[in-house]
């Protein structure tokens, strides 16, 4: 399986596990330090959320990024 398909598969797993949580606003595949990672965007990082989200999934790093309230333009 090529790397992009693997990343998309992992992102779908993360979406199904975490997008239903109130403070989780979205996910993305990004480059960080010349490697692909999954980013989970949250309104506010709290200890319970941080503990629930893995730091790595299937060998791919997972990062949490606090973005605040999301509002339509």
User: Hey, where are the domains in the chain?
Assistant: 3-66
At residue 2, the pLDDT reads 86
Looking at the domain 3-66, which fold is it?
GMP Synthetase; Chain A, domain 3 (3.30.300)
Residue 36's SS3 state is strand
For residue 24, how many other CB atoms are within 10 A of its CB?
20
Res. 63: pLDDT tops 80: yes
Q: Give 4's pLDDT tier (boundaries 50, 70, 90).
A: confident
What average pLDDT is seen over the chain? 93
Sign of CA dihedral 53, 42, 15, 56: negative
At residue 70, the pLDDT reads 82
At residue 73, the pLDDT reads 83
Of 4 and 28, the structure prediction assigns the larger pLDDT to: 28
């Amino acid at each position: 399986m090529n790397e992009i398909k693997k990343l998309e598969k992992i992102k779908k797993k993360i979406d199904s596990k975490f997008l239903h949580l109130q403070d989780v606003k979205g996910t993305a595949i990004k480059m960080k330090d010349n490697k692909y990672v999954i980013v989970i965007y949250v309104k506010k990082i709290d200890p319970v959320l941080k503990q629930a989200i893995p730091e790595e999934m299937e060998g791919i790093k997972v990062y949490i990024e606090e973005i605040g309230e999301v509002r339509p333009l």
